[in-house]
Amino acid sequence: MSGVPKFTDKQLKEFRMAFDTFDKDADGKVDSDSCCRAMRACGIPLTVKEVQEITTDLDLYSDSEINWDGFLALLEQHWKPIPTKEELVKAFQRIDTDGSGSLSATELKRYLTNIGDPLSEDEFKELLKDVDQDGDGEVSFKEFVDLMTSGVTYKDY
């Protein structure tokens, strides 16, 4: 498979530990909900839309379960390298259309809608609450960086 990330042995071991953690009955398969939770545990911040697509695909094509090989294929499909500081600055500046140095709720919502991940009002409020660490109603560059580079590991579950 060309263009597919080559995971290190350490990553594969951590991914396997996450998969096994969610394989409650140790049958070598996880259901769609556990699959998405395990992917998040591997550091892949799935969007609501991606979770829905994965769940629908697993429900339609594999009796709502996925084995290790299928799980690894999903990880490869959704793997995104951590962005560089320069990439983060450029992305932040593109979203910060008024140049204020922070992202307003309006700017963030417009950006998410433009990239094809429109959220309901409740979902957006929840996202903003999670991202806006200081509670000022805006997303600072530091909060943006934390969001874009945060990786949850299996240890968090």
Which residues, 6+ apart, have CB-to-CB distance to 39 below 8 Å?
Answer: 46, 54, 71, 74, 75, 78
Q: Which single residue is written with the structure tokens 């530091």?
A: 142
- Considering the entire predicted model, what is its pTM? 0.52
Span 5-24, pLDDT tens digits: 578 888 899 999 999 999 99
Other CB atoms within 10 A of residue 62 CB = 13
Q: Which of the listed ranges 50-59, 101-110, 141-150 does the model predict with the highest average pLDDT?
A: 101-110
Rg of the chain on CA atoms, in Å:
17
The dihedral sign for the CA sequence 143, 134, 44, 153: positive
CA torsion angle for 146, 19, 75, 83 (degrees, to 10)? 20
Domains contained in the chain, CATH given: 9-80 (1.10.238.10), 85-146 (1.10.238.10)
pLDDT band at 156, cuts 50/70/90? very low
How many helices (H) and strands (E) the chain has is answered by 8, 4
DSSP 118: -
Mean pLDDT calculated for residue range 135-147: 90
